[in-house]
Structure 1
Amino acid sequence: MQIDNVAAVVTGATSGLGNATAAALAAKGARVFGLDLDIATAPQIDGVTYLEADVTSEDQVRAAVAHAAEQGPLRIVVNCAGIGTPARILGKAGVHDLAHYAKVVQVNLIGTFTVLALAAEAIARTEPLDHAQRGVIVNTASVAAFEGQIGQAAYSSSKGGVVGLTLPAARDLAQHGIRVNTVAPGIVDTPMLATLGEEVRKSLAAGVPFPKRLARPSEYADLVAFIVEHDYLNGETIRMDGALRLAPR
């Protein structure tokens, strides 16, 4: 499927993976609508329009999707919005904050599903292309979905849910000509990771088998673009991790 001259929705678009993806799709000619909670300081990118939206709000997501579809045809959706603060199930302060666990799942999993479902509804109304295809949705999981570390119970649960959603979503939406795939990144050099300091980042990079460096957000964006353009990729979760397998801690 071509990226040029179609509308695309990218969540978590003001920084990190989402911002790199919005920029990459816009560079290929898409009209990108970047969703995020706070867009006041979003970097200006030609071809990217930012919309304030909470992925856990049905009304806000529905309005953003409708706006993108009006500028359509809406054919590309990329779910990058996510949160994840570490906490042990039983820690020094007591049991894992149950409200925090629910919040992580609400944003990372239910938010992903909300965007996927409401966007699919809009994409299904577009005119079909060759082989009856109408669009593609790319979700973001994590290698923590497979090898969650100590303190990642909430995050790993939510990302494992995204992986589990991928195949049934692809099968559900096949009749509408919509493909669904997921990317599971390893350790990516995002602004959030930069706050850990140079020594910590070097230590993390040293644990990657090859190449021994952190992944770049642009590499995630390139993979998303490849998935969009590769019409036979469907129902897959693709690890982008340099062969990394997370240790317990």
Structure 2
Amino acid sequence: MKFEPGLAAVVTGGASGLGKASAQALADAGFKVAIFDVNAEAGEAHAEAIGGLFCHVDITSEDSVVAGFEKARAAHGQERVTVHCAMTSRRGKTVGWDKASGGYKRLSTEDYAFGAEGVLVSSYRVASISALGMANADPLNDDGERGCVILTASVAAQDGQIGQVIYGSCKAGVNGLVLPMARDLMDLGIRVNSIMPGIFATPLMLGMKDRNPAMWDQLNASVPFPKRLGEPEEFASLVLEIARNGYLNAHQFRLDGGIRMPPK
């Protein structure tokens, strides 16, 4: 995809972390960026900083996501790049010891369903609604490309750790969307890929730096090379390359400094 000034992009979770960096990079590349997030204060501030648009969107709500796309398209036109970074999930072992009851406790089906909605279902929701809009847009080039969707999986999709039965399996499901969705959309000229970030210096992880410096140093040392957490800007750089390179399709990209996660 040639980055022409004025092309539109949507970034979910664009108020912080990987999404914020992706929104910044796309704006710097000339895109009109709509940020979808539930954090209105941070989302509006970042949208203003990059000359974009903030849309208050709850990715677990069909109506909210549809309304977000409608608002973004009314302001910027049809998005040609969608980057889905937002998610919500829960944590717990399939069966673990419960101190309160003094016995074993099963991770509830309701907790699993919550994570499935916040990770996997929301990924399908955002990707398919965006693809429907792209399908009705004019091709951008001689290849017939109409746009691309970039989903965020995780190294946990392949290296799920103890307590990540929800997160790991649902992120694996995100990877599982990529090939069949890319094949579904191939005749429409819409590409689909995913990125599996390793341990990145997002606000959640940066909070550990002060709370537990020893754990912070251990995490940095666990990365083969370079021995540090990934920078959100490095994630955003890959987002741009996937969007730019029209031959990247139906692929899951691991971005992790070579790390392979241990059981815990």
| Shared fold, TM over 0.5 | yes
Opposite residue 140 of structure 2, the aligned amino acid is L
Query: Where do 5+ consecutive residues of structure 1 fail to align?
Result: none
TM-score (ref. length: structure 1): 0.96
Opposite residue 15 of structure 1, the aligned amino acid is S
Q: Does 1:225 align with 2:240?
A: yes
Task: Within 5 Å, give how 1:193-232 maps onto structure 2.
Answer: 193-197=205-209, 198-232=213-247
Q: Does 1:72 align with 2:84?
A: no
Cα shift at 1:64: 1.3
Task: Within 5 Å, give how 1:66-105 maps onto structure 2.
Answer: 66-70=70-74, 71-93=76-98, 94-105=105-116
Opposite residue 63 of structure 1, the aligned amino acid is A
How far apart are the structure 2 equivalents of 1:241 and 1:181? 16
Larger displacement relative to structure 2 (224-233 or 196-205) = 196-205
Task: Within 5 Å, give how 1:5-154 maps onto structure 2.
Answer: 5-42=6-43, 43-44=45-46, 45-70=49-74, 71-93=76-98, 94-130=105-141, 131-154=143-166
Q: Does 1:185 align with 2:186?
A: no
Cα shift at 1:30: 0.6
Query: Where do 5+ consecutive residues of structure 2 fail to align?
Result: 99-104
Which structure has the greater CA radius of gyration? 2
How far apart are the structure 1 equivalents of 2:94 and 2:258? 28
Secondary structure in structure 1 of the residue aligned to 2:41? coil
Q: Does 1:168 align with 2:180?
A: yes
Do the aligned residues in 1 keep the contact of 2:65 with 2:126 (CA within 8 Å)?
yes
How far apart are the structure 2 equivalents of 1:184 and 1:204? 17
How far apart are the structure 1 equivalents of 2:41 and 2:176? 34
Cα shift at 1:220: 0.3
Cα shift at 1:89: 1.1
Do the aligned residues in 1 keep the contact of 2:53 with 2:72 (CA within 8 Å)?
no
Opposite residue 9 of structure 2, the aligned amino acid is A
| CA deviation vs aligned residue, 1:166-194 (integer Å, no higher than 9, x gap) | 01111101111100000000000100112
- 2:101 counterpart residue number: none
How far apart are the structure 1 equivalents of 2:60 and 2:250? 24
Name the count of aligned residue pairs. 249
Cα shift at 1:85: 3.8
Cα shift at 1:13: 1.0
Do the aligned residues in 2 keep the contact of 1:141 with 1:162 (CA within 8 Å)?
yes
